[in-house]
Structure 1
Amino acid sequence: MKKQAVAAGFVLLSLMLPTKASAASFTKFYVFGDSLSDTGNVFATTGGLVAPTTAIPQDPPYFQGRFSNDQVWVDYLGDQLGLQPSPYISLNTTIPNQGINFAVGGASSGQGNAVVPNAPLPGILEQVGLLTQPILQANQKLDPNALYAVWGGANDYVFGQATNAAQTVQNLSDAVGLLAASGAKNILVFNLPDLGKIPFAFATGLSSNLTSLTNDHNTRLAEKLSKFSNNSNLNLISVDVFSLFNQVQANPGTFGFKDVANPCVVGNLQTITSVCSQPNNYLFFDSVHPTTDVHKLVADTTLAAIEAKSAPEPAINLGIFALGAFGALRALKRQQKRAAVMTEG
Structure 2
Amino acid sequence: MKKQAVVAGFVLLSFTLPLKATAASFTKFYVFGDSLSDTGNVFTATGGLVAPTTAIPQEPPYFQGRFSNQQVWVDYLGDQLGLTPSPYITLNPTIPNQGINFAVGGASSGQGNAVVPNAPLPGVLEQVGLLTQPILQVNQKLDPNALYAVWGGANDYVFGQATNATQTAQNLSDAVGLLASSGAKNILVFNLPDLGKIPFAFATEQSNNLTALTNDHNNKLAEELGKFSNNSDLNLISVDVFSLFNQVQANPGKFGFKDVTNPCLVGNFQTIISVCPQPNDYLFFDSVHPTTGVHQLVANAALAAIEAKSVPEPAINLGILALGAFGAVGVVKRQQKRSAGRIFDAQLALADSLSDRCNTPASTLLPRGDATRT
By the TM > 0.5 criterion, same fold?
yes
Q: 1:107-156: CA deviations, max 9, x gaps? A: 00001112233432100000000000011111210000000000000000
Cα distance in 1 for partners of 2:186, 2:102 equals 17
Q: What's 1:37 paired with?
A: 37
Match of 1:281 in 2: 281
The within-5 A match list for 1:310-321 is: 310-313=310-313, 318-319=322-323
Is the Cα–Cα contact under 8 Å of residues 264 and 275 in structure 1 kept in the other structure? yes
Counterpart contact for 2:189–2:239, Cα < 8 Å? yes
* Aligned mates of 1:78, 1:235 — CA distance in 2: 19
Residue identity in the other structure for 1:300? N
Distance 1:153 1:144, change over 3 A: same
Higher helix fraction (1 or 2): 1
Q: 1:96 to 1:163 in 2, by over 3 A?
A: farther
Q: CA deviation at 1:272?
A: 1.4
Q: Secondary structure at the match of 1:213?
A: helix
Between the two structures, name the one with larger relative contact order (CA 8 Å, sep ≥ 6): 2
Q: Which blocks of at least 5 consecutive residues in structure 2 are unaligned? A: 1-10, 325-374
Please name the residue that 2:227 is paired with: 227
Specify the SS of the correspondent of 2:262.
strand
The superposition leaves residues 26-67 of structure 1 with CA deviations (integer Å, 9 ceiling, x where unpaired) of 000000000000000000000000000000000000000000
Which letter does structure 2 place at the counterpart of 1:264?
C
Equivalent residues of 2:69, 2:279 under 8 A apart: yes
Q: C-alpha deviations, 1:280-305, integer Å up to 9, x for none? A: 00000000000000000000000000
- Which amino acid in structure 2 is aligned with residue 107 of structure 1? A
The Cα RMSD (Å) is 1.9
1:48–1:65 Cα contact (<8 Å) kept: yes
User: 1:202 & 1:196 partners in 2: Cα distance?
Assistant: 7
Gaps of 5+ in 1: 1-8, 321-345
Higher mean Cα deviation, 86-95 or 204-213? 86-95
Match of 1:82 in 2: 82
- Output aligned runs, 1:206-217, within 5 Å: 206-217=206-217
Residue type of the alignment partner of 1:93? P
What do residues 188-217 of structure 1 show as CA deviations (whole Å, max 9, x unaligned)?
000000000000000000000000000000
Equivalence for 1:19 = 20
Alignment-derived partner of residue 295 in structure 1:
295
Q: Deviations over 1:50-107 (max 9, x none)?
A: 0000000000000000000000000000000000000000013225420000000000
Give % identity: 83
Residue type matched to 1:206 in 2? Q
Structure 1 distance, partners of 2:147, 2:93, is: 23
2:105 maps to which residue? 105
Whether 2:159 is the aligned partner of 1:159: answer: yes
Q: Alignment partner of 1:22: what SS? A: coil
5 Å matches for 1:175-186?
175-186=175-186
Partners of 1:33 and 1:230 lie apart in 2 by 26
CA distance in 1, matches of 2:193, 2:146: 26
The 5 Å alignment of 1:1-345 reads 18-23=19-24, 25-313=25-313, 318-319=322-323
For 1:266 and 1:85, the matched residues in 2 are separated by 31
Which residue identity lines up with residue 125 of structure 2 in the other structure? Answer: L
Superposed displacement of residue 19, structure 1 = 3.0
Contact 1:252 1:260 in 2 (8 A): yes
Does structure 1 conserve the Cα–Cα contact (< 8 Å) formed by 2:32 and 2:103? yes
Partners of 1:188 and 1:20 lie apart in 2 by: 14
Deviations 1:152-198 (A, max 9, x none): 00000000020000000000000000000000000000000000000
Task: Report SS of the residue matched to 2:266.
Answer: strand
- Following the alignment from structure 2 to structure 1, what is the Cα–Cα distance between the partners of residues 188 and 250? 26
Give the aligned residue type for 1:140. Q
CA distance in 2, matches of 1:274, 1:256: 22
Q: Which amino acid counterpart does residue 282 of structure 1 have in structure 2?
A: Y
Q: Deviations along 1:217-239, whole A, 9 cap, x unmatched?
A: 00000011011010000000000
Give runs of ≥4 in structure 1 deviating > 6 Å. Answer: none
8 Å CA contact 2:14–2:304 kept in 1: the answer is no
- Mapped contact 1:86–1:96 kept (Cα < 8 A): no
Which amino acid in 1 is paired with 2:23?
Answer: S
Q: Which residue of 1 aligns with 2:364?
A: none
Question: Does the residue aligned with 1:156 lie in a helix, a strand or coil?
Answer: helix
* Equivalent pair of 2:108/2:123 in contact (CA under 8 Å): yes
Q: Is the 8 A contact 1:262 1:284 kept in 2?
A: yes
Contact 2:23/2:311 (CA < 8 Å) preserved in 1?
A: no
Are the aligned partners of 1:18 and 1:307 in contact in 2 as well (CA < 8 Å)? no
- Take 1:206 and 1:94, find their aligned partners in 2: how far apart are those partners? 47
**Could you say which residue in structure 1 is the equivalent of 2:5?**
none
Q: Distance in 1 between matches of 2:191 and 2:57?
A: 24
